[in-house]
Structure 1
Amino acid sequence: MSSLNPQLIAQVRFLQRQAASLLLYQSLLTDAIGQAFINLLVALEQESNALDCLQAYGIFFQEQAANQQCWQDYLIAQILRADNPFTQQAQQTDLKNLPSSLVAAAKSDLHCLQSLYQCSGEQLSQWIQQLIPLSVAPVVWQPEPDRVEKIEELPLKSQFAKLENWGDIIEELAAHYRQFGIGLFAKSQAFRWQNRELLGIFHPDPVHFSQLIGYESQRQILLQNTEFLLAGYAAQNVLLYGSRGSGKSSLIKALLHQYGDRGLRLIEVAKSDLQDLPIVIEQLRGSPHKFIIFVDDLSFEEDDDTFKALKVVLEGNITARPQNVVVYATSNRRHLVREYFADRPQPREVDEVQAWDTVQEKLSFSDRFGLTLTFEPPDQQTYLKMVDHLAALAGIRLETQELEFRALQWATRHNGRSGRSARQFVDFLTAELALFSVTSHRRDHES
């Protein structure tokens, strides 16, 4: 095994010092790719045995492949989404209003990160070849030319690649944080609250408004209210109430694809986690994004106290609700809280003195939503219109009479007329026709 010349050893140690000198952006090097890069530098600096160096480079290559990003593209993407004291404050106020020491620390870190950026995959591969030595340098991970990049990140990425001093981009970088946000909200558009933390959903339901037929007036009101939210006005919390399978949840999910590129984010909170709503909302305060908290299939039992947490969010308490957050909930039950005849006051000594107040509190809970949109079961004509539209999108070519006859049979034998039934029928029919076509082709070929 050869050794690196003193000049190259000095370069490796310089990179290690630069990485260790980070004051604000340390988190960029704590995940898999960052750690793989640091471990590779350690192996080179210590001039470990050939197997250790090759293994360290292999892990570094594997992490780039897993993320489908070369080291340099990854580093810039992490800078643009970083969550640290500088980015947190920069997204809420102008750069000139930030503490000078904070801005100085950010510039210093950008200078250090530029040094790490200049250590390309090609450079590391050449060092490995020189150290081992190898007849052929290890393969370098190269980004795919047709890789889909986030549109909002492209201008700054090109500037980073051209700048002589990354500290000069601090104003543009702060403006980027203010416009597009930081951390998890810059990486994903859909989230789930689980185990008291937000988890990104990187493959949200692909439903679009073009796939949804019927309930045009309800859709228009929902779109208008969401436009208010995006424009920074006081938007209303919305309850979507009605029959099962009518597309209430799909309408809310479709909003993400309609407005995600305008800063809308969707957070799904299960009914069992409603007591955490105040915690969730405090994490959203100050973000430049607009948030819809999505609660699906909302209802409460008689002795269920979790609705109190939702009540606080809907009505507010001494802490003001952020104007960038609204709640959109769906329910099959108009009044949300299950009511029994036994709940109604009876002239017995054990009854609550003001029992009607308790009943009215239950019945009026849904009134705390600013908007209530009602979804009635579709009639036969609307149901068939849904089927025809979805079949056209799926490319199904059947006579209209046959298609609608089979659709009505499906509704009778399964879940009745609804948007969900129409979708299930078209999905089933698409698979059936495709399989029949493949089977027929195979038989014709065999014969």
Structure 2
Amino acid sequence: MDQLVSRLLLYGDLGEEAILSKLAALFQAWKGSSMPRQTLVRGIYHQVKGLLDLATEYGFDENLWQNYLTFLLMTNENSFSLITERVGAQDGSVNHFARNDFRVFRALFHYDFSAVEGDLNLDCFTTLSHYKAIAKHGRRYNQNVSEKVRDLSRRLAAAPDDETFFRLVTEHYRQYGVGMLGLNKAFRIQSGPEGIGFIPIYNTDKVMLRDLVGYESQKAQLRHNTEAFLAGRSANNALLYGDAGTGKSSSVKALINEYYDQGLRMIEIYKHQFRDLSAVIAKVKNRNYRFIIFIDDLSFEENEVEYKFLKAVIEGGVETKPDNILLYATSNRRNLIRETWKDRADMEHENDVHHSDTLEEKLSLSARFGVRINYSIPNRTQFQEMVRTLAQRQGLTVPAEVLLAEANKWELRHGGVSGRTAQQFINYMGGASAPAFAGSGNQMEKRESPSPGEASI
């Protein structure tokens, strides 16, 4: 193994702490008898544990060794993988070195561990190669990454020759990209001594736009703008504003489920991170993805000045915002920055000679979102239609008059009519502890549970 790993060139920068690097060093020590056997076994077990931990995090199964090697190929950002992400496999001298590296990986895929296992009385690699993972809930591991790793791993293992192996890897780069940006749909950012880092969001809501009841014109506007963006046509930053609980955030989050396979990714940031926006854009502007920078529940109090960082990034800075980035924000305020009646009364601002300019500066932030979509609370008829539709999706069998009567009682106690209130009412109705309805003589029944994320508002 050590001789194979030492031949890697483009993919040789694995890091000293990588499992493959550590195992290669341990196998070299085993062949040279330069390490006590007990220490050698303990070192191998330590790396096997690391592989098991990685497999648990990403839901690997069947052949953990091949899954791990596939994961390395998917996530190693180098000159070849990054250019292939952007333009696909092209003729060039770099392909010679890539083919050599893939030949090494193909040999590692089918590496024979029997000699080291027999000599050290181990069976760990045999077990890893025929692994049966414990079933676990999809929210407890990165299911999206798991599915892609295992699928590509099976196809690489079955590749009959080096050229097929090369084609499978480069096709994956072109379709999904490379690194964690390629494998995941959404990210948060984290500042550290080495700059900005992206933290994958594993358990994204699986809601689709069709799951959101009502607001058809609003969803159509959002689709139109997003699809233009993905097609490389002119598109605008978008502000979804309006009443609480109307589905603004869910509409934006649904986009990554609708368009992930078309290269859409989402980066969620918070108000206190606006200073890092320029650094975030710098890290993603040359990647072959379309990024929505998502700001949820955006608003500013009168004394907060973070909005100036946001204004500079959206428009007005020296550097033009890259074509592969848009900002989508949600807010309960159309103008984003809190206004008071004092803002409307010039006499209250004796120390501000140019008060109208100050007011205009406050209002100009929302004007920098070219698409502004209003989500208002539904009327009574629309609310009842939401309740009926969600109840049907949930599989609830309750007489319509009873269902709507209970929904009316619920919304009076829980903040009024909205999509969120309708969903919370249906969640309550679907609970195992939901009581019989007083005076109706009808017990609530439930046929089946919806899939995760279904009918979220």
1:38 paired with 2:24, answer yes
Residue 176 of structure 2: aligned partner? 180
The structure with more radius of gyration: 1
| Deviation of 1:78 (Å) | 2.2
Aligned: 1:142 with 2:108: no
Distance change >3 Å, CA 316–CA 347, structure 1 → 2: closer
1:429 deviates by 2.1
Aligned equivalent of 1:110: 102
Percent of counterpart pairs with the same letter?
Answer: 32
Q: Distance in 2 between matches of 1:343 and 1:435?
A: 51
Q: Deviations over 1:22-78 (max 9, x none)?
A: 333134465654355335424533545554444344444444444125212321332
- Say which structure is richer in helix: 1
1:162 matched to which residue of 2? 159
Question: Matches of 1:348 and 1:57 in 2, distance apart?
Answer: 74
Kindly indicate whether the alpha-carbon contact (under 8 Å) linking 1:40 and 1:60 is maintained by their aligned counterparts in 2: no
Within the candidate set 33, 55, 63, 2:42 is matched to: 55
Larger displacement relative to structure 2 (106-115 or 209-218): 106-115
Alignment check: 8 A CA contact 1:285 1:322 kept: yes
Cα 1:29–1:276 change in 2 (3 A) is closer
Partner of 1:127: 115
Aligned partners of 1:345 and 1:356 also within 8 Å? no
- Deviation, 1:302, is 2.2
Residue 356 of structure 2 aligns to which amino acid in structure 1? W
**What count of residue pairs does the alignment treat as equivalent?**
416
- Structure 2 residue identity aligned to 1:194: Q
CA–CA separation in structure 1 for the residues paired with 2:325 and 2:300: 23
The verdict on how the C-alpha distance between 1:113 and 1:129 changes in structure 2, with shifts beyond 3 A counting, is closer
Greater mean deviation of Cα atoms: 367-376 or 63-72:
63-72
Give 3-state SS (helix, strand or coil) of 1:292's partner: strand
TM-fit CA distance, 1:202: 1.5
Instruction: Return the TM-score normalized by structure 2.
Output: 0.80
Distance 2:190 2:287 in 1: 20
Q: Distance in 2 between matches of 1:137 and 1:21?
A: 22
The 3 A distance-change label for structure 1 pair 425 and 273 is same
Q: Given that residues 99 and 162 in structure 2 are in contact (C-alpha distance below 8 angstroms), is that contact kept between their aligned partners in structure 1?
A: no
Per-residue deviation at 1:240? Answer: 0.3
Task: Choose from 58, 61, 73 the match for 1:79.
Answer: 73
CA contact (8 A) 1:36 1:59 kept: no
Q: Where does the alignment leave 5 or more consecutive residues of structure 2 unmatched?
A: 136-142, 437-442, 444-457
3-state secondary structure, aligned to 1:162 = coil
Provide the residue aligned with 2:353 in structure 1: 353
Equivalent pair of 1:81/1:181 in contact (CA under 8 Å) = no
Contact 1:22 1:112 (8 Å CA) reproduced: yes
Q: Which residue of 2 aligns with 1:302?
A: 302
Amino acid at match of 1:181: G
Contact 2:248-2:330 within 8 A present in 1 as well: yes
CA distance in 1, matches of 2:315, 2:91: 34
What is aligned with 1:417? 417
User: More displaced, 193-202 or 368-377?
Assistant: 193-202
Q: Does 1:393 align with 2:380?
A: no
- Secondary structure of the residue that 2:198 maps to in structure 1? strand
TM-score by length of 1: 0.82
